[in-house]
Amino acid sequence: MAADTAEYALAVLKGTTAVTDLVIGGVENVLETGDSSPKTLADAQVTRRDTGNPAKVLAITVQDSGEKAQDAQTTEQWVSVWIFDRERGYSNIRKATQAVFGALHGKSTPLTSPFTGRTVAVTLELEARTGHRMERSLEVDFELMTFKAIVKLDLG
């Protein structure tokens, strides 16, 4: 395993005000996928109702979606970004999708692998997005964006 691309993406999103300004609770509701729950969304929905600010999504979560070795120095890694909302249709999600795209797509950075201590170069590219989807059991609207990174060891 190379550097944690999902951790990098999460840090970028948390540090991008164009993203956090579109989320109820700001940086607090930009989370790793395992740190969110139906209660997270319900609490954010109550906060949105109480503050009278309907133009923000409830949460954005980032998920490590796996990796595949290409050769001894290169891996492909995938990061999924979920944008969640309720009762607002696609309008809030669309704005957040555009902000996430602007924050992550085409961005490059060097990362140090926690396993090998080697430096790797990471560039994220949007690979796919679902468009507007609804999950009836959770009563939630969402969009899933998948970013791919080609991770190359710095052999210099």
| CB 70 within 8 Å of CB 12 | no
pLDDT at 128: 96
What pTM did the predictor assign? Answer: 0.90
Handedness of CA 104, 107, 111, 115 (dihedral sign): positive
Counting residues of the chain whose pLDDT is more than 90, the rounded percentage is 63
| CB 124 within 8 Å of CB 50 | no
Domain locations in the chain? 5-153
Give the confidence band of 1 by pLDDT, cuts at 50, 70, 90.
Answer: very low
8-66 pLDDT per residue, tens:
899 999 999 999 999 999 999 999 988 988 899 999 999 999 998 899 999 999 999 99
5-153 folds as: STM4215-like (3.30.2000)
- How many residues appear in the chain? 156
Region 113-127 average pLDDT: 79
Q: Which stretches of the chain are DSSP H helices?
A: 5-14, 17-20, 38-51, 91-104
The first and second tokens of residue 48, run together, are: 């949105």
Counting residues of the chain whose pLDDT is more than 70, the rounded percentage is 94
Distance CA 41, CA 45 (A): 6
Give the confidence band of 133 by pLDDT, cuts at 50, 70, 90.
Answer: very high
pLDDT at 152: 76
60: three-class secondary structure by DSSP: strand
